[in-house]
Structure 1
Amino acid sequence: MNLEIRQETKENLHLLHLSGEVDAFTAPKLREVLIPLTEQSGMRVIVDLSDVEYIDSTGLGIFIGALKSTHNYDSHIQLQGLSSRLHRLFKITGLDEVIDIEDQEKEGKQ
């Protein structure tokens, strides 16, 4: 499966809507879009994962890299719309403790 990225920008907010899978094949595409956004001082980046079905370790690594970038550039990243499956993945890996994840899990997707 592919990864589709739709981007909206409003002042100091970037909203990325992801759809598909984030894996070793699609992660470079996500990195190419996401990391430069986090390298803009004072920017908020919200990543909507409502339509993401799968994330592997390479994909998790992209989010870790983005988080490190936010610390270096005084920006912020938040993940939202995680299915219960994706929320569990972030919890198992402990990433839910360091990445800002919107509390409300997406209803109905497991």
Structure 2
Amino acid sequence: MQLKVSYEDGPDGITVVRIEGDGERCVLDAASAPALRSVLLEAIGRGRLLLVVDLGAVDVEKAGLSVLLGGLKRVRRQGGTLALAGTSQRMREILAATRLDQFFGLFDTAANAVVELAADYAETSIEQRRAALADRANHIVPSGGHSYEHVSDHVTVVTVVGELDVYTAPSLRELLVELASHGRVFLVLDMTAVDYLDSTGFGVVVGGLKRVRAYDGGMALVVPQERIAKVFRITGLTKVFPIFDTADPAVECLGREASGVHG
């Protein structure tokens, strides 16, 4: 089924992308998704960084979701955003299951999305958000494939990337030891980008908790992936680690704990 992808640039800096077909409800799949990718890349190339994709006439399969996620990443790196309008119940369930509903703005209609985005970006502009992203990047220190950021006087967020196994876990262990030795003992371990966790990686995480507790510190985990969170539930360690879907509440939790200790 042939899909037609069109767009309309609004005077408020928001571009609405619409997807239509010749049937009652079309599918954005591997065959049709490239047309959407081309339109998104063209819009972003013209500096249109506030995008609303109207999905009211289509169902979305994996390839289509991948294109939408790719567009979201591109605009967010530049201070913009990509919102979805008219998503089906099935699509919302997929987004919720993959935790992507925390990143996409979801709206009933494109008109509602435009109103909300216009108000949001009138309060904090693209330029301000881009500057904030650049400032944050300047404070993130890479270390052995991972990175860390001191987000407050006491709390450090460690971002773990890729597979955490017998080959890669030692670099994380070294980083945790180094941070603890410098008095950074309230750690948020952000495992959002972890693809795989084996027993060695699991042992390093548990060992990190023991190390910071020896200094009266604490550790919280960010684990949005169900398959990895399940490991902590099965082993009963959800009673030991505070576990969150996103970093902000984890930082807030450890911040309260650190304040109590240092107070």
Residue 99, structure 1, aligned to residue 244, structure 2:
no
Residue 75, structure 1, aligned to residue 217, structure 2:
yes
CA RMSD between the two structures: 2.0
Q: What is the CA distance between 1:41 and its match in structure 2? A: 4.9
Q: Is the 8 A contact 1:38 1:77 kept in 2?
A: no
Name the amino acid aligned to 1:24: V
Q: Which runs of 5+ in 1 are unaligned?
A: 106-110
Per-residue CA distance 1:70-91 (angstroms, 9 max, x = gap): 2210111110133001100111
- Once the two structures are superposed, the pairs formed by residues 41-56 of structure 1 within 5 Å of their partners are 41=183, 43-56=185-198
Q: Which runs of 4+ in 1 moved over 2 A?
A: 35-43
Q: Greater strand percent: which structure?
A: 1
Name the amino acid aligned to 1:28: P
Q: What is the CA distance between 1:38 and its match in structure 2? A: 3.6
Which structure is larger by alpha-carbon Rg, 1 or 2?
A: 2
Residue 88, structure 1, aligned to residue 230, structure 2:
yes
Q: Distance in 2 between matches of 1:57 and 1:99?
A: 17
Name the amino acid aligned to 1:7: Y
Q: Is the 8 A contact 2:155 2:184 kept in 1?
A: no
Q: Greater helix percent: which structure?
A: 2
Q: Which runs of 5+ in 2 are unaligned?
A: 1-143, 247-263
Q: What is the CA distance between 1:42 and its match in structure 2? A: 7.0
Q: Is the 8 A contact 1:90 1:96 kept in 2?
A: yes
Per-residue CA distance 1:38-90 (angstroms, 9 max, x = gap): 45557321111111011100011111111111221011111013300110011
Q: Distance in 2 between matches of 1:37 and 1:23?
A: 21
Q: TM-score, normalised by structure 1?
A: 0.81
Q: How many residues are treated as equivalent by the alignment?
A: 102
Q: TM-score, normalised by structure 2?
A: 0.36
- Aligned-residue sequence identity (percent) comes to 33
